[in-house]
Structure formats: C-alpha cells, structure tokens
Chains A and B, each alone.
Chain A
Amino acid sequence: MKETKYSICGMCAVRCPIAVQVEEGKPVWIEGNSHDGGMGRSLCAKGGAAFSQRLDRQRPLTPLLRMGERGEGQWREASWDEAYEYITSRLKPILAEHGGRAIMFSDRGGPFADLRQAFVKSLGSPNYINHDCTCGRNVHHASKSVYGLGRKDFAYDYENTRHLVLFGRNITESLKVKEVKSFLKGVKKGAHVTYVDPRASITAGKASRYWQIKPGTDYALLLGIARCLIDNHWYDQDFVARYVTGLQEFKTFLQPYTLEWAAAETGIPAAEIEAFCREINEDRPKVIFHPGWMLARYRDSFYASRIIHILNALMGSIEQPGGLFYPKGPKDAGKKGLKSLAALVPAVTEERADGCGTRYPQWDKGAGMLQTAYEAIDSGIPYPVKAYFIHRHNPLIAMPDPAEQQRILNKLDLIVAVDVHFSESAWFADVILPENTFLERDDILRTEKGLKPGFGRRQQCVKPLNNTRAGWEIYLELAQRLGKGEYFPFQSMEDIWQYQLQDTGLTLADFDAKGFVKLSDKALWFDRDQLKFGTESGKIEFINSKWEAMGVASLPPYVAPDEPPAGSFRLLFGRCGYQAHGQHQNNPILSELLDVNTLWINTKAAKQLGIKDKDQVLVSSGDARGTIAARVTDLIHPQAVFMLHGFGTDVRAKKRSFGKGLADHIFMHGKLKEWDQAGGGLNLAESFVTVTPVPSTGEIR
C-alpha cells in the first residue's frame, strides 16, 4: 500500500515542505508539498538526494566513542546506553564543580530549536548558541539597529516587485525553492533586477543590471546611492516624515559621498549609478533592497546592511505589496501560538559566556555568538566552559583557523556531536551520537510566519535504517539521566505536539491532510498608517542613540578596503544550488554532480600570471597552500578569486569526498578573531591569497 506523508525537508536549512510516498515501509518518491501553492511539486537537487543520504553508509550509524587523540579518527562502536553513560559520567563532575554554565551548545538555529534550547536551559546553562556569526548576524543586528526588529521580522514580496536590488544575495544559487519561484515570477512580470557582486553568479544572468563592483566597497556604493536619492528628493517623503527619525543627520553625514566619489571607489560609472537611482525612484514603493542573507563577509558588512535597511525606508516599501512585509504570526490572525518547551524550564540568569548582553551589550542573547564563546573557552573568562554539544553544526569548516579552533576546543573536557554525518567537527568530538536522517525523525511543530500564518510538522516518514535516534529522543534521555526529567514530562513526540498545540484549539489530526495548518485564509496586511517599529521611539531610527550608547556608531565614515598586495587576490567564497551546508559533500548523488571546486580568476589577471583555463594553480597564504583547477573568466573582478565552500575534507570516513577540492576557510588566517565589532559577523571575505601556475609536470615552483 502506498501512503503519502507530509513533512519538512532537512537537506538544508531552508526546510521546504515536502511529500514523501512510502510503500511497505520504504520511501519510493519525494517531491514538494503541492498543497503549498508557492512550492508546488518542485524540489531542488538537495531534497532530491534525501533518499541517497539515508542509504549512504559512510555516516555514523551507531554511537561512537573516541579511541585515540581528538581528530585522529579512531572510533569504537558503542550501545546507546554506553554512550549516554559516557556523557553523563563526564558531565556530572563538571556540573558539580563548575555548574551548568560550564556547558555550551551550538546548532544551526531554525524553527525546531525550542527543544534544544529547553535542554540547555534545563542544565542551568545560558550558553545556547547558533551558527549565525557565519551567517546573518550582521543583517539581523543591522535591522535591529534601524527598525528595532530582527531580520526575520521582514519578508519580501518578490512576485509583485518592480525593482529588486541584490547586493550579492544570490537568489538562484543560495537556493530557497519558494523564494526563487516567486523571484522568477517577478522577473517574468517585468521586474527590474539590479545585481551587485564582484562575481557574476547565475543570478547576474537573470538581472536587468549587473555591476561587477570592486570587492569590499558595497558600503561606498550604498552611501552614493543614498545621497543621490536624498539630494534629488527621489524618496517617499510622506513615509519618511511619518516614520523616520534622523534624516537631517543622515543628510549631513552623506555630504562627502557624491556619485563621482562612489564611482571612483567602486568602479561603477557615476552616470550608471544615477540612472539606477532615477529608475528606482520611478519604481518605488514596489522596491526591495535585499539586506543580505549570509553577510559574514567584510569588516563593514553590518554598516552596508544598515544602509540597505535605511534605503528601504526611503523607498517607503515597508508593509507594501511588491516591497517588504511583516511576516504575520498566529497572534496577528487572532489565534494563539504554539506553547514553548523552553518556557517549562526555569529562567537562567547567569551571564552568557560569549558576552552577548554584557561584554557585547548590543548583541542578542537568544542566538549567542560562537567566536566569542571560543574566547571564553580559551581564557576561562567570565568563567570556565568545559563541555560542548555540537548539534548538526560544523564550526571547524564554517569558521576559519581550524588549527586555532582545535587548540581552543582541546581545553574542553567533553565534546559531544549529534549529527547525521561525519562533519569535520563531529570527527573531532569525543562522542558521536548519530541522529536519524530527517526522513526518519519527528521534530517539534514549527510556526510558519507569513502573509498567511500557520503551523507545520516534520514527521517520521520511514523507520531508521540504522542504530540512530531522533534529536528529541536524545535530549530527553540525556535530561532524564542528568536528573532534569521533570522539565520534559513527555513520553513521545505525540505528547510534545499535543502540549505545543494546547492553546491553539487544533489537534494532531489537523496536520494529516496537508502537513501544515493555516490560521488565515486571506493574506494579512497591517494598516500602513499604523506601523509600529521596535525601537525606543517606535520609529525607524537612522541614528539609533541606544546603539550609540552601547558603542556602536550609527553612521561611521567610510574606510576603503585594503588593496590586495601585489600578486595577491581577495578570496571570495560561496555556494551553488546543489550544495547543502556540508550535507552535499559526501552524498552519493550530490558528490557525483560536484566533487571538486575550481578557482574563478579574471581573464586579464590570469593572462598576466600565465594561467590558462583548467590549468592547475597553487593557492597560498602563509602556511596554507593547495592546488586547484583555474576557471578563467571575465565573470569575476580582477582583484578577486572565488571558490565554492565546503571542499577538501580531511575526514577519511567520507571516501567520496576525502581530499577532493580545496577548502577555502584554511586561507582565512586570524579571522576567527577578526570580526565585525558592531554586528558580530566574521570577516570571511577579508583574506588575500597568491595564485601561481603549477608546471605541467605537477611540480610546484
């Protein structure tokens, strides 16, 4: 008998709604959940490789305990009982001597984090951290500093926009299925798309305007645009008068940043910038300046993102069809939300080890900041941190300086990895608790905000093939064994779901038909005359005095990026549409599509170095070096080289990908400790490498 199970994909952090057909306990077909109109049956390559992931045996398939030194890759298989015992027998003395705060936990955030946060809290630790220092922290904090609202408090109406402006936001490759479909609908309906990136990604090929900007000068271009718009009164004066504070100061600040200045700095002709401004003025308010997704790049990325947030206000595109809108939650639909699991656990009042809210008062406490948590592990300040849970997160390749990271991690008494894969970080752990693949596990219900808010469910579609367990089982069991079972009065996922739904009037059966429940039939829009913002003034603050008091200037003068030293290039990185946050790396199908990366290098720059397309080249920086094939192209700025992230793994167990391609993060020397002081994002695009031809004999000069 064939049955269809609706669930939520877990191949990447986008978590699209899916439908899985199961026949006699076997998964036979996976597609997008077509009950979601924006999704249809569409599924990207990553989701298409889900069955392949489940069948892959080059993964941890049973609990593993470390035998040799950390990272050596000597493992012993263990029972779950033994693995739990191993962990609790090491945690108990840590808890006794240092308290719960000595435990930290990191994951990749997302809509299912509530249970993991409850687990960390139940141990008495404030140190739940997500991955965002290598992702959207700069965008989030920039948004907070302008609107008092987080980055997820805005969404984008691509389909109805007249002009979409993307600063490196590579919509077609850093891929979200529903987003790209709605983007292409907008393009088809005639939307202008301006794409700004030192590298022409596939998104550049869909744009109506492409600017190959000098790397690291986004802030300059944005300042030039802002001045041009304001000088010419090409902005929504009613909206600004009503909702914005600080326009006058902003205007004064912008005085030096003329079009000619911006042109000299960015390499984009002044006339083109002016033409763009004129166009955007005609297109507003149906304009979206995308504030960035992954923006742990330049040392001023936080400020570039701030100006983008400001430009959206100038366009009057807030809560505007074709512009930005507030994703509505259950409350906005007049309904009650899901009950929180973390709310069952008493509040932890300890200061955070990473300093969010204390040493770094401007940063959100909720998501934490991993690089400053590393500082705490290393220094023991503000207190010792002794144990680290790494939940399907991979800091050893997501963050730079792997050797330095390992030195710091070696100060820990216990590292536990919960993962579906042998991530580089799991490989360095003391214990690996293998998690079920997403097809094999339930997760807690999630809230789905949007114009039509609702709830969604990831459910187990098929039984686990191996001796693996679901994350929720693992954390409930550990809490129980550590004497914290009282906070988790649940025997099964059904119990948890029923608890979450308690106030909503919904039952689990309501999720069977479509996998999700909508709380409103019609799109919800707020009254544009009554918009509220989360700042102290309730307005959009171009100058945020609260942030200034915390040491974060609202409008710092532009500082030009470092020029690459002679013979060097700025190293840029990214991903493509069939890479899945590390899950692609050793996937049987996805690794077949792409098992090595290449180095994009500008045609003229390559010619000067005597490098031809497909030649092997040596990339070096300090003691990091490696060879890679060159992709010689005009599609990249002469000052930069580019490679896809997530290659060159040193984990031997991943036989399809071991040693293939070149890792980008090994070239980012010192960048673990060099990050955006305002927004907290790491400066991952601030490193330089030299590129030299490798003689055809294979010998390195």
Chain B
Amino acid sequence: MSKYIVTQDVADCIGCRACEVHCKDKNHSGTGAFYCRMIEVSASESPLPKIDFVYLSCFHCEQPWCVDVCPTGAMRRRAQDGIVFVEDSACVGCKACITACPWTVPQWNPETGKVGKCDLCMDRIDAGLEPACVTKCTTGCLRFTTPAAASESRRQEFAEQLLHNRR
C-alpha cells in the first residue's frame, strides 16, 4: 500500500463517471483503457432500490505482484511513497503484469502497445496537488488522503451521526 489512499463516500457518488473522464483526459490511457473505473452495483429490493457505484483503481500494493513479474523492470514501486507506476520507456508490452495482478488492474493501451496504470497522478502529487479524479470529482465523493486520516475522519463522521440520531 502506498502511503496514500483514495476513498469514496458511496452515499455521495452519482455514478457520473467524471473520474474516469478526468483520468483519461489527463493520462491519455488509450482506447478502452481505464485507470480508474466506477462499477455499478444495483438491486431493486423494495421499497427502496439500491443503485450504488464503487470506485476501483489500483491498490498500490505493498508487495505488488505486477512489479515482481515484470521482466524489464518497467513496473516499479516508488520508494518515497509506494506509488506503483510504469516506466513507459522500459515497457515491452508483454502483459505479464496484467496476468499477475489479482484484480487485473494494469490496462492495455492499444495505441502504444504498452501497459499503463494509475500512478495517482504522481506529477500532480509532486506539485502539491491531488489526482485528477479526486480534484474534479463532480460531487466531491472521492478523497485523496492517507489510511490513518481516512480512518480518523470516518470515525468522526460516524460519531456525529450517532449523536445526531440520538438527538
């Protein structure tokens, strides 16, 4: 796990797929390749239908199988913050990383014949900014944070809700 995490408040997500578009517009992932994806999960149990969306990107594993399996060293993990990224010039397009990843996260770019994936927009992070998907999320349901801060704020919200309900 990189030191960062992108969290999603499902209640505020409207499945508008702006995150996917903002990512594609910035990262030019190639036709059919999505570094992040909003997955729809719906159920029509009465009386209220559930129509939710789950944000899925790369987990930036602590021990990334994609990195282990890459024969050229193109798939790398950044030492300073654990971001897993592809060094484009070294990728030969063997797709081993796609096979190795339990969630098939690395994406195939048919235009370049190489693999690309979410690097949390690390150029933006290095400039003190947040990933494109988070920065421009239509409803603000995505947050760029750290696991500890995410846990803290979720607990705070829960506690407030608890008291709100009791009042």
Contacts and interface: CB of A to CB of B under 8 A. Distances in A.
Contacts of A209: 47-48
A45 B139 contact: no
A45 B17 contact: yes
A175 B31 CA distance: 25
A450 interface: no
A624 to B, nearest CB: 30
Contacts of A210: 47-49
Interface string A50-65: 0110000000000000
Contact of B22 (A43, A205, A593): A43
A142 interface: no
A578 interface: yes
A205 B20 contact: no
B136 A590 contact: no
Interface in A200-234: 200-202, 204-210
Contacts of A590: 21
Contacts of B50: 205
A678 B26 CA distance: 49
Contacts of B44: 200, 633-635
B152 interface: no
B24 A42 contact: no
A524 to B, nearest CB: 27
Interface stretch (A72-80, A177-185, A329-337, A680-688): A177-185
Contacts of B17: 45, 577-578, 593
**Chain A interface bracket (under 10, 10 to 19, 20 to 34, 35 or more):** 35 or more
Contacts of A419: none
Given A593-B21, A633-B44, A44 B49 contact: no
Interface in A19-64: 29-32, 40-45, 47-49, 51-52
B20 A45 contact: yes
B20 A202 contact: no
A235 B123 CA distance: 57
B14 A202 contact: yes
Nearest to A32: B136
Interface in A144-193: 172-173, 175, 177, 180-181, 184, 187-188, 190
Nearest to A211: B47
Contacts of B31: 592
A589 interface: yes
Contacts of B32: 592
> Which of B32, B48, B138 counts the most A-chain CB atoms under 10 A from its CB?
B138
> Which of B16, B24, B137 counts the most A-chain CB atoms under 10 A from its CB?
B16
B137 A42 contact: yes
A44 B18 contact: yes
Contacts of A634: 44, 49
A577 B53 CA distance: 13
B14 A45 contact: no
Interface residues of B, number: 30
> Which of B14, B48, B135 counts the most A-chain CB atoms under 10 A from its CB?
B14
A42 B16 CA distance: 12
B140 interface: yes
B88 interface: no
B14 A48 contact: no
A51 B11 CA distance: 30
A258 B20 CA distance: 48
B12 interface: yes
Contacts of B136: 31-32, 41-43, 48
Contacts of B93: none
A207 B14 contact: no
Contact of A589 (B14, B24, B140): B24
Contacts of B14: 172-173, 175, 180, 184, 202, 206, 577
B33 to A, nearest CB: 9
B25 interface: yes
B82 interface: no
Contacts of A200: 44, 49, 51
Contacts of A44: 16, 18, 138
Contacts of A42: 18, 136-140
A48 B25 contact: yes
Interface in B102-156: 135-140
A181 B139 contact: yes
A175 B24 contact: no
B42 interface: yes
Given A200-B51, A205-B51, A635-B49, A41 B135 contact: yes
A48 B140 contact: no
A172 B53 CA distance: 13
Nearest to B44: A634
Contacts of A181: 138-140
Contact of A204 (B49, B137, B139): B49
Contacts of B20: 45, 593
B21 A45 contact: yes
Nearest to B15: A202
Nearest to B133: A48
B94 to A, nearest CB: 25
B145 to A, nearest CB: 16
Nearest to B52: A205
Contacts of B49: 200, 204-205, 210, 634-635
A207 B48 CA distance: 8
A136 to B, nearest CB: 22
A635 B50 CA distance: 10
B74 to A, nearest CB: 25
A180 B139 contact: yes
B21 A177 contact: no
Contacts of A43: 18, 22, 136, 138
Nearest to B40: A202
A40 B140 contact: yes
Contacts of B16: 44-45, 172-173, 175, 577-578
Contacts of A177: 138
Nearest to B33: A592
B158 to A, nearest CB: 14
A589 B25 contact: yes
A577 B140 CA distance: 15
Given A42-B140, A177-B138, A180-B138, A204 B18 contact: no
10 contacts: A45-B21, A48-B25, A51-B25, A181-B139, A200-B44, A205-B50, A577-B17, A578-B17, A592-B31, A634-B49
Give the top 7 A-B pairs by smallest Cβ distance, nearest first: A205-B51, A634-B44, A577-B16, A48-B21, A172-B14, A45-B21, A200-B49
Given A48-B22, A589-B21, 10 more contacts: A30-B25, A41-B135, A41-B136, A43-B18, A45-B18, A181-B139, A184-B139, A205-B42, A210-B47, A577-B18
Interface of B: 11-12, 14-18, 20-22, 24-26, 31-32, 42, 44, 47-52, 135-140, 164
